[in-house]
Amino acid sequence: MEESISGFKVRGDWGDVVEHGERISRALRDAGVGSSDESADTDADENFTGALEEWEEWRPKAHETLDADVSEKTADQASVEEGKGEKAGKEPDEDIKTAGEKLSESYEQLEEDDAEAAVDNWKESIDYVARAADSASRKALRRVEDTVYQNVMTQLAPYYFDNALVSANIQQSARGNDDAERFVFEVNVNDDDLKDEVSDRLAELDEEVDRWHVEVEKDTDAAEAIEGAEPPPEPEDDEPKSTTN
């Protein structure tokens, strides 16, 4: 691993990439991120908990590939955020229908000489129309973004991830002498104090761990197909995924 002001970088095959991501996650947790333990090593901002979950979702996994899985996850996290209408679970046509209803109520209230209520409904009608237009435009932008990003941008730039906690990028490099795929994966911790703690913990892991066992997706279907068999137990959250001599 190379360490610089821009982060922690590894060069190697897919296994090296996956292991690097797992080591970063382990170091972040050991530094107190996402922990409810008051005796954790740091007073990491509680807001980092959600950011850690986002990072855990994005980081490359052993069963994934760069072109398919990481590309899709990168496009998703880079996509335009949801607007008010989408967050409310409303489609554009639903908001347009509601806007029409509000406008009709406004006309009825004008006929009843209730000008104040008419104005209120008229304003609401405009708000619903604006919300519908916003939702429709965001959906259109996402369709364009997804196509452009996955088919164009990843040919020109590395796959990237960025939130309040972590910034990361991964790209494929030239193949090795054995013709195996090679990658460059760099991860930076955005909080300087936390980055120092992560750096120290990564150094400790290098000394403590002889061989790192990467996480793999558990296939319980085969076990469940055998009569009387039970799927393997899940490891405890704090159970180390590494071995030492």
The pLDDT of residue 181:
83
DSSP string across the chain: -EEETTEEEEEE-HHHHHHHHHHHHHHHHHTTTT---TTSSS---TTHHHHHHHHHHHS--TT--IIIIIHHHHHHHTSPPP-HHHHTT--HHHHHHHHHHHHHHHHHHHHTT-HHHHHHHHHHHHHHHHHHHHHHHHHHHHHHHHHHIIIIIHHHS-EEEE-SSEEEEEEEE---TT---EEEEEEEESSHHHHHHHHHHHHHHHHH-SEE--------HHHHHSTT--PPPPPPTTS-SEE--
- Greater confidence (139 vs 243) lies with 139
**What phi and psi values does residue 167 have, to the nearest 5 degrees?**
-120, 135
Q: What is the mean pLDDT of residues 207-213?
A: 71
Task: Tell me what pLDDT residue 47 has.
Answer: 61
State which of 17-26, 43-52, 76-85 shows the largest mean pLDDT. 17-26
Which tens digits make up the pLDDT trace of 136-183?
A: 766 666 666 566 555 555 554 578 888 899 999 998 887 766 667 899
Per-residue pLDDT band at 227 (split at 50, 70, 90): very low
pLDDT in tens, 83-115: 677 677 788 788 788 888 888 888 787 777 888
pLDDT of residue 43: 47
**What span, in angstroms and rounded, lies between the C-alpha atoms of 15 and 60?**
10
173, burial (CB in 10 Å: exposed 0-12, middle 13-18, buried 19+): exposed
Question: Alpha-carbon distance 121 to 48, whole Å?
Answer: 42
Q: Please state which of the ranges 59-68, 113-122, 168-177, 207-216 shows the lowest mean pLDDT.
A: 207-216
- What separation in angstroms does the CA of 126 have from each of 19, 101, 109, 111, 122? 53, 11, 16, 20, 6
Structure confidence at residue 219 as a pLDDT band (50, 70, 90): low
Q: What is the pTM of this model?
A: 0.60
Give the residue among 187, 191, 185 at the shortest CA–CA distance from 158.
185
pLDDT of residue 213: 61
Instruction: Describe the strand order of the beta sheet including 166-173 as a list of residue ranges.
Output: 2-4, 7-12, 182-189, 166-173, 159-162
Q: Residue ranges per domain, the chain?
A: 2-80+156-244, 92-151
- pLDDT score recorded for residue 245: 42
| pLDDT > 70: percent of the chain | 64
